[in-house]
Chain A
Amino acid sequence: MPKKQRRSRDLRLLSVGVVLLLGWIGLGYRLFQVQAVHAAEYAGDGADQRVRHEALPAARGTIFDRDGVELAVTVNAVTVIANPSQVADPALAARLLAPLVQVDEATLHSRLSRDGQFAYVVRRIDRTSADRVKTLVDQVGLAGISLIEEPHRVYPGGTLAAQILGFVRGDDQVGLEGLELSFNQQLTGVPGTQVVERDRYGTPIPQGQLLIEPAVPGSDLVLTIDRQIQFATETALAETVAATNAVAGTVVILEVDTGEVLAMANMPAFDPNDFTASPIEAFRNRAVADVYEPGSTLKVVTVAGALEEGIVAPVTELQLPAELQIHDKVYTDVERTEPTTMSVAEIVAKSSNIGTIKIQSLLGNARHHDYLDRFGMGDPIDLGLPAVAPGLLHPLHDWCETTCGPSTSIGYRVDVTPLQMAAAFNAIANDGVWVEPTLVKQVIDGDGQIHEPDKKERPVVSKETALLMREMLKGVVADGTGWRAAVDGYAVGGKTGTTEKLIPGVGYSKTARIASFIGIAPIDRPEVVIAVVLDSPHGEVAMGNGTTTRLEFGGVSAAPLFAELAGITLNQLGVPPHGG
């Protein structure tokens, strides 16, 4: 080979070698850059694309009635969302979606045409509609439309026990009223988290990174409410409120020996599934949040105290004037204008104001106050509900020596809730033992542990006094003002109450009354206590003999509702009738 040719070959080889060397150096440099210098950065970028930190929502607890039927439950509903910037033809999408989601086309078009990258098309639709939308999106290829799942609180009973249950805010499922509010923390549970590697389609990568901190589900609540009795109570109360032209009404039904609330109904009512459609007044649980002056129903405490102290017996007779003036007040009895003599039992049966004041004067303010305190006046009852009113029992040192005792003895100057009065009568029904009413029977936490509230009870009068009081309450229905409370097949007892309505800042109303009846059924073997309170019933009702009577009296408007509910409740509880 000529020398010149050999040199040329060597030069080419050298050139190729240099190029290859530089190439390898370049590759090595790049490799070093990728694998050593920026390794963590690139690994992080890759992980960001695959590894996702996801929240695991905790299922909100369910609220059951005493039989284990759902009163409030959370389900996953499907929501259709859109990315308007990706929707190519909003008019077409609106036309296709409108019949599937029951939203008019113009509204949908407006939602799909707005600026931004997120819009709700329709929230919380049923599964069937959701499946149709999914099929449409997949088949037609509607870009920018997708489906997500959202928790949705459902109240299968509609208006049933609405003021007890309350409701939650739609967006974040936070309790706003009722047990949903007061037990919000327990019902909510603790959300968990998971770290998972997913592919571009969102599918978990097998054997990828997976760290799970599971969510702790919210606690379930088991209530003492019997939904059949609750429904019957709500239905009957609604009819009574309408028939008596009342502004509102409340009924509380307690099981005697346990103090469990079997029903607690309020009118006006609302549907927690659509609470925005109702006025805010309808949300209030009047049985625990509203106070009123109990009137004659509180005479039971005055007389029970006097019996317990041995001051009077049911047969003790008292001389009663036609009217009684104390300081600047004149006390009278309804339908009595002449002086007379009445036994204590008659005073209770005929609801004599003057007779009760006489008994109170024998008892004295200090002992009277003590018995009011023992029967729970002025003490809030903790049912686990929010906004519970404590009521008002003036401290003894605030009692004047003139009219304070007499007025209190006939149910004025004391503010109570319907539940407090029901609990007081329950003490009479329960052989003199006051039992704190309960509404939440069990709290079952996320681990399945069952927690039951402590039972609070205390004796307030002796068993004998309670028996005597029941006997006299029986007389109220048999021969007294509460005859409309009689129940076919059962002996019942109770007390009527009618008070002028105290309007804050105005004084006593000239026309509006609070009418009530609180009774025990059956009176000889007490099973339930039923308290009925009607706000401002008015009008007249025919008596049958051609005359009429005014609905504003508890014995006229509230007592018949008691009778109806007592019959239904005893029947529901399986209490056999044994002659009235």
Chain B
Amino acid sequence: MTAAVLRPVVADNVAAPPRLRRRPGLGSWLLFIVIVVGAFYGLIFSRISLDRSGFELAELQEQIAEEEARHFELRVEVAELMNPDRIATAATKLGMVYPAERTELSADVVSEPAVHPEMRWAQLRTLLSAQP
């Protein structure tokens, strides 16, 4: 009788013993719930913040428009105040009048004085009177 050759069992062919899975503990569940709820509230909060910013932006834009309108009104007011007719009328009411005489004040000049116009004219007359 031939003795059967005993071969060692290949480990790969042997099914691995079932591992023991650890069930998530209560802490994990709580953490998960906290994260989900936190994310939910975070989402809502960010949405509210964005909406609030949107309303603030709308208000600011309205405010800008009002200020721009006010700016234009003030510009008009300044232009009206600068109206020469208004100033002349106000000056007249204050008793102001246009000067009857003009007073000339001469000041020493630093630069060389230009050729007096009358001299220039005299030179030209001499030159140009020679025409036919």
Q: A69-B79, A524-B118, A525-B117 are in contact. Are A204 and B58 (CB under 8 A)?
A: yes
B128 adjacent to A73 (CB under 8 Å): no
> At the interface, yes or no: B35 with Cβ under 8 Å from chain A?
no
> At the interface, yes or no: A423 with Cβ under 8 Å from chain B?
no
A361 to chain B, nearest CB (A): 16
Secondary structure at chain A's binding surface: helix, strand, loop or mixed? Answer: loop
> At the interface, yes or no: B39 with Cβ under 8 Å from chain A?
no
> At the interface, yes or no: B42 with Cβ under 8 Å from chain A?
no
In residues 188-209 of chain A, which contact B (Cβ within 8 Å)?
A: 203-207
**On chain A, which size bracket covers the interface?**
35 or more
The 8 Å CB contact of B132, one of A203, A207, A316, A468, is A316
Count, chain B residues at interface, CB 8 A: 34
The 8 Å CB contact of A313, one of B57, B76, B102, B129, is B129
> At the interface, yes or no: A311 with Cβ under 8 Å from chain B?
yes
B52 to chain A, nearest CB (A): 8
B76 adjacent to A156 (CB under 8 Å): yes
The 8 Å CB contact of A203, one of B55, B76, B128, is B55
A160 adjacent to B73 (CB under 8 Å): no
In residues 42-62 of chain B, which contact A (Cβ within 8 Å)?
A: 50-55, 57-58
Secondary structure at chain B's binding surface: helix, strand, loop or mixed? Answer: helix
Question: Bound complex: CA of A165 vs CA of B38, how far in Å?
Answer: 66
Question: Bound complex: CA of A468 vs CA of B121, how far in Å?
Answer: 9
B47 to chain A, nearest CB (A): 8
- Nearest B residue to A159 via CB reads B85
Interface string of A341-364 (1 = CB under 8 A from B): 000000000000000000000000
Residues of B within 8 A of A578 (CB): 117
The 8 Å CB contact of B129, one of A149, A311, A315, A489, is A315
B132 adjacent to A313 (CB under 8 Å): yes
B79 adjacent to A157 (CB under 8 Å): yes
> At the interface, yes or no: B120 with Cβ under 8 Å from chain A?
yes
Residues of B within 8 A of A525 (CB): 117
In residues 76-125 of chain A, which contact B (Cβ within 8 Å)?
A: 76
> At the interface, yes or no: B31 with Cβ under 8 Å from chain A?
no
Residues of B within 8 A of A73 (CB): 72, 75-76, 79
Residues of B within 8 A of A384 (CB): none
Show the binding face of B for A, using Cβ within 8 Å.
50-55, 57-58, 69, 72-73, 75-76, 79-80, 82-85, 88, 102, 104, 117-118, 120-121, 124-125, 127-132
The 3 closest A-B pairs by CB, nearest first: A206-B54, A156-B79, A524-B117
